[in-house]
Chains A and B, each alone.
Chain A
Amino acid sequence: MTTALSQGLTLAWRSLIPLKNHPGQLFGLLFQPVFMIVIFVYLFGGAAGGDRAGAVAYMLPGVLVQVALMSTITTGMNLATDIGNGVFDRFRTMPIARSAPLAGRILADLLTLLITIVMSMVVGYAVGFRVTTGPLSALAGLGLVLLLAMALSWGSAWIGLVAKSVTSMQGMATAVLLPLTFGSSAFVPATDMPGWLSWWMGVNPVSHLAGALRGLLTGGLHPSDVWITLGWTAALLVLFAPLALRAYNRRVR
Chain B
Amino acid sequence: MPAGPDTLEDMKYAIEAEGLVKRYGDKSALDGVDLAARSGSVLGVLGPNGAGKTTAVRVLATLARPDAGRALVGGYDVTRQAAKVRELIGLTGQYASVDEKLTGTQNLLLIGRLLGLSRPAARARAKELLARFGLEEAADRAASGYSGGMRRRLDLAVSLVSRPRILFLDEPTTGLDPHARGELWDVVRELTADGVTVLLTTQYLEEADQLADDLLVIDRGRVAASGTPAELKALAGGHRLDVRPLRAADLEKAETILGAKAADGVVSVPVHDLSAPPALLRDLDDAGIVLAEHALRLPSLDDVFLTLTGDHR
Whether B115 contacts A21 by the Cβ 8 Å rule is no
Residues of chain A in range 2-24 having any CB-CB distance to chain B below 8 Å: 3, 7, 10-11, 13-14, 17-18, 21
Residues of B within 8 A of A85 (CB): 95, 97, 100
In the complex, what residue of chain A is closest to B86 when comparing beta carbons? A95
Most buried by A among B87, B100, B101: B101
Residues of A within 8 A of B65 (CB): 253
Selected A-B contacts with CB under 8 Å, 28 pairs: A3-B116, A10-B110, A10-B113, A11-B114, A13-B110, A13-B113, A14-B106, A17-B101, A17-B106, A18-B101, A21-B102, A21-B106, A85-B95, A85-B97, A85-B100, A86-B95, A86-B97, A89-B63, A89-B97, A90-B91, A90-B111, A92-B63, A93-B61, A93-B89, A95-B83, A95-B86, A253-B64, A253-B65
Partner of B91, one of A18, A89, A100: A89
Whether A94 contacts B101 by the Cβ 8 Å rule is no
- Shortest beta-carbon distance from B174 to chain A in Å: 14
Whether B99 contacts A87 by the Cβ 8 Å rule is yes
Whether A90 contacts B86 by the Cβ 8 Å rule is no
Q: A92-B62, A95-B86, A96-B114 are in contact. Are A87 and B97 (CB under 8 A)?
A: yes
Q: A86-B93, A86-B96 are in contact. Are A93 and B101 (CB under 8 A)?
A: no
User: For chain A, what secondary structure do more than half of its interface residues adopt (helix, strand, loop), or is it mixed?
Assistant: helix
Whether A93 contacts B100 by the Cβ 8 Å rule is no
Further 15 A-B residue pairs, CB within 8 A, beyond A18-B102, A85-B100: A11-B114, A14-B102, A21-B103, A21-B106, A86-B95, A86-B97, A87-B97, A89-B97, A90-B91, A90-B97, A92-B62, A93-B86, A95-B83, A95-B86, A100-B114
User: For chain B, what secondary structure do more than half of its interface residues adopt (helix, strand, loop), or is it mixed?
Assistant: loop
Partner of A21, one of B61, B83, B89, B101: B101
What are the nearest 5 A-B pairs in CB distance? A86-B97, A18-B101, A95-B86, A90-B97, A95-B87
- Is B301 located at the chain interface by the 8 A CB criterion? no
CA distance in complex: A89, B58 (Å): 9
- Is B296 located at the chain interface by the 8 A CB criterion? no
The size of the chain A interface, using a CB distance under 8 A, is 22
CA distance in complex: A49, B65 (Å): 64
- Is B158 located at the chain interface by the 8 A CB criterion? yes
- Shortest beta-carbon distance from B15 to chain A in Å: 14
In the complex, what residue of chain A is closest to B100 when comparing beta carbons? A85
Residues of B within 8 A of A90 (CB): 91, 97, 111, 158
Residues of A within 8 A of B97 (CB): 85-87, 89-90
Residues of B within 8 A of A18 (CB): 101-102
- Shortest beta-carbon distance from A93 to chain B in Å: 5
CA distance in complex: A90, B111 (Å): 9
- Shortest beta-carbon distance from A109 to chain B in Å: 14
CA distance in complex: A93, B91 (Å): 7
- Is B308 located at the chain interface by the 8 A CB criterion? no
In the complex, what residue of chain B is closest to A9 when comparing beta carbons? B113
CA distance in complex: A86, B100 (Å): 11
Q: Would you give the 0/1 interface string for A127-158, flagging 1 where the beta carbon is closer than 8 Å to chain B?
A: 00000000000000000000000000000000
CA distance in complex: A97, B65 (Å): 18
CA distance in complex: A253, B111 (Å): 21
Residues of chain B in range 97-138 having any CB-CB distance to chain A below 8 Å: 97-103, 106, 110-111, 113-116
- Is B225 located at the chain interface by the 8 A CB criterion? no
Residues of A within 8 A of B100 (CB): 85
Residues of A within 8 A of B142 (CB): 21
Whether B116 contacts A94 by the Cβ 8 Å rule is no
CA distance in complex: A96, B86 (Å): 9
- Shortest beta-carbon distance from B308 to chain A in Å: 30
Residues of chain A in range 73-102 having any CB-CB distance to chain B below 8 Å: 85-87, 89-96, 100
Residues of A within 8 A of B64 (CB): 253
Residues of A within 8 A of B96 (CB): 86
- Shortest beta-carbon distance from A10 to chain B in Å: 5
Residues of A within 8 A of B93 (CB): 86, 89
- Shortest beta-carbon distance from A84 to chain B in Å: 9
Residues of A within 8 A of B91 (CB): 89-90, 93
- Shortest beta-carbon distance from B177 to chain A in Å: 21
